[in-house]
């Protein structure tokens, strides 16, 4: 059940001591980088004096823009020849953020992923089809190395080519997959259209879903479609990638691997710590990284602390699923809305199919919000009054969840745009 | 200079003994697979009695079709739970060929790649941009693991996105790359069009080129364009992937890693061994594989033995570059032609640009052959008589090389179809 029982179930006092020891080492390591050296000098911070969370909070957070401004080597703490790998953000335009890894960094990252996978039941006799993109993106290689550490049979199929994905799922009776949740929904349609039944013809037992925020309702939908467990995986390339926080078998929030990271959850405006249950921005500090130590990284991801011991016995604190990002929240008629709120409502309605799109527009200086929703094929040819009742019900549920009333448009399955990567759920045309 | 001096420079007698010992183990391992067990039973072969090349030749070769027919587990020699990876052919249609690897298999494969890379000068302080596709294709992950073993900084950028490739080449001053040769030619055009000079603004020192047959002239063209050394790499997924044979610093043929493979070069029709210098089909036997031992695999790749000691001191025999494949040879007017023969002529002409296409058609029951050739931009606006002389010269050179006279069409740079993967050099419309 545990990959590393001692660390996973370490009592809190010991864990805090371990964190403190590693934090000291990390801050000293960070002082070797030109970025942090300059910052410490400027603020008269003595790195050797930082050993507690409280000390740490004297250091201003590091942002993505800081990482960019340090390109290429401003955050590198080791000689370049000790670096064996770099990963970088997908790099829309401009300078990507780059994270360097020594061999020891790769090993400890892989170990965190192995711990996460082992915790949800992945074993060496499993067959693991890794449907994430391999390359600079960390989802593919990160999970690959972790699964390899366990000794699982890894099928490094990477992203895309749905027909081939299905062929492998069926012919190897794949038991474990790593998949983007919105893609899992779409893929189930394709599986059906190949004449297969995902719960009968496939053998999935464990699905690792991550790389985009999704609701509990989406998870349940995926579990039902595949008759498989689906576990929420959290990570970001600045903090290695997958393996930062992971659900255990109880699926009641994600354990943050606190021996490797210090997590703070703060009010994104005031940076004041949030009490358990209060949504805030996650700020992460690496504790076991040599090449690119990062102190107090502002992830822009929003979650809240769960203040209850977990029946699994792990002592590492849990957080809620990611509720959104500070930059994917949109404001409509003065109300803050996260796409995941809409996701939750829609996925709770069994009539709703696998795809939907939120469209924001500005007409005559007035904002409008439309939600286009694919419904299940069998319903589309149903009676119109029934569809109208469905439309009204969804509208009412969204209003009750978000306090706003979007226009609801029910569309035929397969008509909304799809992608084999992260889904685009919101199109905001108001700024164009 | 050597990654493993003892093995690389082992005297021939010892090497033959090592091969013999490993062959015995391999045949016994193969006898655990359902495919070879059946074959041995049918032909009354006693696996424990096979220890020399001569013994081996009593076993009929294994073809790609055999591998396919054994899907999924007919060639698996270990319990599935010992397998940590599978790779498969890109799988056009039908069943792909699948190769399984244990952790020890991956390790010995990575070691062969590390040996190859180290031999051409790759060191831990290099920056290695791996431009090959990562996933089931072995070119990406295979080279990645080998470079990681050396401790080189690997940029796992994978294939595609030329603008990003160039951005990384420039901003990280990449010293080593792994690239498809036809793509290297195309990329140099794009580098130019970005206003960069590949010999000035980039810092490439070692280019590993492979995954498609190419001529010595193409190699020289690449070396000139990038002011870098380019080394020929040979491998195929059925024999792991990269790391089967590799050029050393002398660039005079490829050393076959004979501690890991037994190579035969035979007449593809009679299967009789070819003497040194005579072109034949390569047949390979694995010597250090646990999960998928393969005996006498018909690669369809054509090369010849080089019968001279190499000044590098390695004792492992050398082969010529791959001259083509038994299935990429085409017959035109009764003459056998390999695309590499045309490649050689074209790349030897400095006026020729980075792309060309051979088109075979059938008109009124008569075959026609056209070679469309991009020429360099500065020539395209040149005088017509000069272009006509170039056209005639290329035609005469192709006739002299191949004995046939194709129609030659000089076209503007950038007009022929391109790909970021393996180039399509021949379009044969005669069978359509």
Is B301 in the same domain as B188? Answer: yes
Question: What single string gives the DSSP state of each residue in A382-427?
Answer: S-HHHHHHHHHHHHHHHHHHHS---EEEEE-TT-S---SSS---EE
Q: What is the pLDDT of residues A69-78, one digit of tens each?
A: 999 999 999 9
Which residues of A are less than 8 Å from B134 in CB distance? 134-135, 140-141, 156, 158
How far is B157 from chain A, CA to nearest CA, in Å? 5
Asked whether residue A93 carries a pLDDT value surpassing 80, the answer given is no
Is B219 in the same domain as B95? Answer: yes
Q: What is the pLDDT of residues A313-325, one digit of tens each?
A: 999 999 999 999 9
Q: Among residues B213, B190, B212, which one has the least CA distance to residue B202? A: B190
Instruction: Specify which of A197-201, A208-212, A224-228, B210-214 reaches the highest per-range mean pLDDT.
Output: A224-228
Is B343 in the same domain as B358? Answer: yes
pLDDT of amino acid A90: 65
Helix (H) or strand (E) holding A235, with range, is strand A229-235
Is B386 in the same domain as B360? Answer: yes
- Taking residues A277-285, what's their average pLDDT? 97
From B277, B295, B323, give the residue that closes a domain.
B323
pLDDT of amino acid B195: 94
* A132-141, A171-180, B111-120, B326-335: the lowest-pLDDT one: B326-335
B319 bridge partner residues? B254, B305
How far is A423 from chain B, CA to nearest CA, in Å? 21
CATH of the domain at A353: 3.30.300.30
pLDDT of amino acid A85: 98
- Taking residues A182-199, what's their average pLDDT? 92
Instruction: Report the residue from A87, A135, A164 with minimal CB separation from B134.
Output: A135
Classify residue A306: in a domain, yes or no.
no
Helix (H, G, I), strand (E, B) or coil at A128: strand
How far is B261 from chain A, CA to nearest CA, in Å? 25
- Across the beta sheet with A261-266, the strand order is A261-266, A280-286, A297-303, A324-325
Cβ-defined contact of B152 to A84 (cutoff 8 Å): yes
pLDDT of amino acid B90: 65
From B272, B301, B323, give the residue that closes a domain.
B323
Range of the domain at A399: 330-428
Instruction: Report the residue from A87, A106, A158 with minimal CB separation from B134.
Output: A158
Instruction: Report the residue from B80, B84, B125 with minimal CB separation from A148.
Output: B84
pLDDT band per the 50, 70, 90 thresholds, residue A21: very high
Q: Give CA–CA dist B284/B286, Å, rounded.
A: 7
- CA torsion through residues B299, B302, B303, B304, sign: positive
Which residues of A are less than 8 Å from B172 in CB distance? 72
Q: What percentage of residues in chain A have a pLDDT greater than 90?
A: 85
What are the φ and ψ backbone dihedral angles of B266, each rounded to 5 degrees?
A: -130, 160
Which residues of A are less than 8 Å from B86 in CB distance? 153-155
Classify residue A254: in a domain, yes or no.
no
Is B255 in the same domain as B115? Answer: yes
Cβ-defined contact of B141 to A134 (cutoff 8 Å): yes
How far is B292 from chain A, CA to nearest CA, in Å? 14
Cβ-defined contact of B155 to A171 (cutoff 8 Å): no
pLDDT of amino acid B432: 59
Classify residue A314: in a domain, yes or no.
no
Say which DSSP state A240 is in: -
Q: Among residues B218, B165, B227, which one has the least CA distance to residue B347? A: B218
Instruction: Report the residue from A71, A135, A155 with minimal CB separation from B157.
Output: A135
Is B130 in the same domain as B161? Answer: yes
Cβ-defined contact of B154 to A85 (cutoff 8 Å): yes
Peptide bond between residue A72 and the one before it cis (omega within 30 degrees of 0): yes
Which residues of A are less than 8 Å from B141 in CB distance? 134, 156
Can you list the residues of chain B whose pLDDT is less than 70?
Answer: 90-93, 432
Number of domains making up chain A: 2
Q: Beta strands B305-306 and B242-247: pairing type?
A: unpaired
Asked whether residue A173 carries a pLDDT value surpassing 70, the answer given is yes
Helix (H) or strand (E) holding B385, with range, is helix B384-402
Is B374 in the same domain as B258? Answer: no
User: Is the interface score ipTM higher than 0.90?
Assistant: yes
Mean pLDDT of chain A: 94
pLDDT band per the 50, 70, 90 thresholds, residue A285: very high
Is B290 in the same domain as B353? Answer: no
Q: What is the pLDDT of residues B375-431, one digit of tens each?
A: 988 877 777 888 999 999 999 999 999 989 999 999 988 899 888 788 889 999 987
How far is A175 from chain B, CA to nearest CA, in Å? 13
Q: What is the pLDDT of residues A399-414, one digit of tens each?
A: 999 989 999 999 988 8
Classify residue A267: in a domain, yes or no.
no
Closest residue of B to A138, CA-based?
B156
pLDDT band per the 50, 70, 90 thresholds, residue A334: confident
Is A21 in the same domain as A151? Answer: yes
Asked if the C-beta of B2 comes within 8 angstroms of chain A's C-beta atoms, the answer is: no
Q: Among residues B254, B179, B162, B165, which one has the least CA distance to residue B223? A: B179
Instruction: Report the residue from B136, B153, B171 with minimal CB separation from A80.
Output: B153
Which residues of B are less than 8 Å from A292 in CB distance? none
- Taking residues A262-275, what's their average pLDDT? 97
Q: How many CB pairs under 8 A join A and B?
A: 86
Q: Give CA–CA dist B7/B259, Å, rounded.
A: 7
From B276, B303, B323, give the residue that closes a domain.
B323
Asked whether residue A304 carries a pLDDT value surpassing 70, the answer given is yes
Is A163 in the same domain as A14? Answer: yes
Is B267 in the same domain as B370? Answer: no
Asked whether residue A63 carries a pLDDT value surpassing 60, the answer given is yes
Q: Give CA–CA dist A231/A142, Å, rounded.
A: 16
Is B5 in the same domain as B32? Answer: yes
Cβ-defined contact of B136 to A148 (cutoff 8 Å): no
How far is A205 from chain B, CA to nearest CA, in Å? 17
CATH of the domain at A185: 3.40.50.12780
* A185-199, A279-293, A378-392: the lowest-pLDDT one: A378-392
């Amino acid at each position: 059940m545990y990959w590393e029982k001692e660390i996973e179930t370490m009592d809190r006092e010991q864990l805090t001591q371990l964190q403190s020891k590693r934090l000291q080492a990390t801050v000293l390591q960070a002082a070797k980088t030109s970025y942090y050296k300059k910052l410490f000098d400027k603020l008269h911070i003595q790195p050797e004096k930082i050993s507690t969370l409280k000390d740490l909070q004297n250091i201003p957070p590091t942002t993505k823009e800081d990482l960019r401004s340090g390109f290429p080597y401003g955050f590198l703490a080791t000689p370049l020849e000790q670096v064996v790998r770099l990963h970088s953000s997908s790099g829309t335009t401009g300078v990507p953020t780059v994270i360097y890894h020594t061999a020891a960094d790769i090993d400890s990252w892989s170990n965190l992923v192995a711990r996460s996978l082992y915790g949800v039941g992945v074993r060496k006799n499993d067959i693991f089809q890794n449907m994430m993109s391999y390359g600079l993106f960390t989802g593919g290689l990160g999970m690959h190395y972790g699964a390899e550490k366990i000794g699982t049979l890894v099928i490094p199929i990477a992203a895309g080519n749905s027909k081939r994905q299905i062929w492998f799922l069926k012919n190897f009776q794949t038991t474990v997959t790593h998949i983007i949740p919105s893609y899992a929904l779409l893929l189930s349609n394709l599986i059906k259209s190949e004449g297969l039944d995902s719960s009968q013809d496939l053998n999935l037992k464990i699905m690792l879903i991550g790389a985009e925020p999704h609701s509990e309702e989406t998870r349940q939908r995926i579990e039902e479609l595949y008759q498989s467990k689906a576990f929420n995986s959290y990570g970001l390339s600045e903090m290695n990638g997958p393996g930062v926080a992971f659900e255990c078998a109880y699926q009641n929030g994600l354990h943050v691997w606190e021996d490797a990271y210090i997590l703070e959850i703060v009010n994104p405006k005031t940076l004041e710590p949030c009490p358990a249950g209060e949504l805030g921005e996650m700020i992460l500090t690496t504790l076991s990284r040599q090449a690119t130590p990062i102190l107090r990284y502002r992830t822009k991801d929003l979650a809240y602390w769960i203040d209850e011991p977990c029946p699994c016995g792990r002592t590492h604190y849990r957080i809620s699923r990611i509720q959104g990002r500070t930059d994917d929240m949109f404001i409509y008629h003065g109300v803050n809305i996260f796409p995941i709120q809409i996701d939750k409502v829609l996925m709770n309605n069994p009539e709703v199919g696998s795809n939907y799109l939120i469209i924001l527009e500005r007409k005559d200086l007035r904002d409008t919000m439309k939600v286009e929703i694919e419904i299940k094929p069998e319903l589309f040819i149903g009676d119109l009054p029934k569809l109208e009742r469905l439309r009204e019900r969804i509208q009412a549920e969204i209003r009750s969840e978000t306090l706003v009333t979007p226009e609801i448009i029910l569309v035929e399955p397969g008509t909304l745009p799809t992608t084999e990567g992260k889904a685009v759920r919101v199109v905001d045309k108001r700024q164009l």
